Structure 1
């Protein structure tokens, strides 16, 4: 991302969601993005993933300039080179677990070969769901559904997986297991993950934590404990709270 700005509205009423983001992330890295409400986290993720168009600046994915791509090209890019994991799982209830995992491949015109099905089976085994490919999402726990979503995000061997609050709907133990899977995807599969989270324990799984404030990268930490991340987050938000209290 180079000089990425995103404004909504015009004139005095304009909202400056991103005020100039410069960021380069290496392949095979795990980055957590944190910040107070309204800091620009969601806009950051949407612009980075080609889901929203920056007002200014450029976004490159593995050498491909995605800023200015038409919607058809962006759709094809998202299906083949990006993976997504959301808080709400977003599995299709009418499809089996295997069919949900293969969905990105099917949308891209594949997903039916023996090789593709073997790929899905391998990923399901990696996330602890071996033998559950014929089940429906409703037959699985929340944690298991999120594991399916992770397998789906990885099935096309994407350049980047974007995870938006992936542990937000899970209990502490299950969340830790899901974070372990994301960490393992980076360490053993060479995945690149960008995760927006409000949870310091989740951010502690990442190689680095970026802190957004008022549309800018206000701070960053290398891999740190949850306590260190929480302390930095508190320091970042304290002036705002102090101003509000005053």
Structure 2
């Protein structure tokens, strides 16, 4: 099984001198292709920085990141932006939909921005898989929160990305809706072969993943395969400062 993201000795420091803060410290890991990986840790453990460096949204202070067959080190912002549009999908806690656009227009927006032709067959498959076939002409204000997040997931998938990154994608949803969205992310892995990396604070959300990476104080403290919510919650109580 090959890794779609490889991080080698990645550190990220914000600020300089005595005010410098190390968000990541020499992180070395790989994210396997076609799998669902969750990233967990206490507040301030480096979860979001991990995601931003892995996805090419932020540049490490030191170390290297490879996404697919592309080494991100040394790429300027223009090339990184083009890479993200082609190879990366994003799903955030805030749905980030354009209110004036329809569901279909929101989904295909990344293709229009990169001047790429819309594959109508692929678009139809995605819309059907996320359960929005009857909603393509609606606007975000006409949808529930769960439906809006499904639009965001479809938008993340439409470019056939190497990996979909989720930053607390269920954080703004009620429990029942969150589970539906998590089941959908799980289905994109099992049914479509997609790679998903999700930052979350929720042990139940993490239990949908194949593997959980635990961060503490900017380092990977542990990894867990075949997680359950109980096992994840128990491990979280023994991480970093929480353990002290």
Q: Same fold (TM over 0.5)?
A: yes
Unaligned stretches of 5+ in structure 1?
Answer: none
Counterpart pick for 2:47 among 41, 51, 62:
41
Cα distance in structure 2, aligned partners of 1:9 and 1:61: 26
Counterpart pick for 2:214 among 211, 215, 218:
211
| Cα deviation, residue 242, structure 1 | 6.6
Q: What TM-score do the two structures reach when normalised by structure 2?
A: 0.95
Q: Which residue of 1 aligns with 2:4?
A: none
Counterpart pick for 2:198 among 195, 200, 213:
195
| SS in structure 2 at match of 1:92 | coil
Q: Which residue of 2 aligns with 1:105?
A: 111
Cα distance in structure 2, aligned partners of 1:45 and 1:26: 15
Write out per-residue CA displacement over residues 35-87 of structure 1, whole angstroms, 9 at most, x where no aligned residue: 00000011111111111110000000112101211111111111110000000
Cα distance in structure 2, aligned partners of 1:121 and 1:102: 11
| SS in structure 2 at match of 1:102 | helix
Matching of residue 173 in structure 1 with residue 179 in structure 2: no
Write out per-residue CA displacement over residues 144-173 of structure 1, whole angstroms, 9 at most, x where no aligned residue: 000010011001110010000000011111
| Alpha-carbon RMSD | 1.1
Q: What TM-score do the two structures reach when normalised by structure 1?
A: 0.94
Counterpart pick for 1:135 among 133, 138, 151:
138
| SS in structure 2 at match of 1:59 | strand
Residues 241 and 205 of structure 1, relative CA distance in 2, 3 Å threshold: closer
Cα distance in structure 2, aligned partners of 1:103 and 1:241: 42
Q: Which is richer in helix?
A: 1
Mapping of residues 53-202 of structure 1, within 5 Å? 53-111=59-117, 113=118, 116-202=119-205
Matching of residue 232 in structure 1 with residue 235 in structure 2: yes
| Cα deviation, residue 117, structure 1 | 3.1
Cα distance in structure 2, aligned partners of 1:42 and 1:48: 10
